[in-house]
Amino acid sequence: MIEEPYLILHKVRGEPAFDIAIKLQIGDEEGWIIPTSGHRAYPWFEQPLSEIVQNDIMEITSLPSDWPDHYATKAIDDRPKFTLESLGLTKVKPAERLKRP
C-alpha cells in the first residue's frame, strides 16, 4: 500500500526546508520519512499533497517514456562506455623517479 505523500516544513542543517514525506508507524509512535532519501523527518507543518494539488493538474504525471529519470532503472551495462581515447585524451605515462646521488 502506498502511503499518501505530504508536503512538510522541517529543519535541515538548521534551516527551514520543504520536502515530500510520508507518515508511518515507528515502534509505538507515528513518524515521518522522506521516501527519496530514507531519512526521518520532524515536520513543523504538514499538509497532504492531495489537498494542495488539484486532480486535473495531476495529469502531468504521465511523462513521455523517453524523459530523463532522476534515478535511472537501467542496468549499468546499458550506459554508454567512454574511454580516454574516445574523449580525445591519452594515457599519461607515470613520471620517472629521480635517483638521488
Domains of the chain, by residue range, sit at 5-61
Q: What pLDDT score was predicted for residue 51? A: 83
User: Please, are residues 19 and 11 in contact by the beta-carbon 8 Å criterion?
Assistant: no
Radius of gyration for the alpha carbons in the chain, expressed in angstroms and rounded: 24
Give pTM, 2 decimals: 0.55
DSSP state of 61: G
Q: What pLDDT score was predicted for residue 56? A: 56
Highest-pLDDT range among 6-20, 59-73, 77-91: 6-20
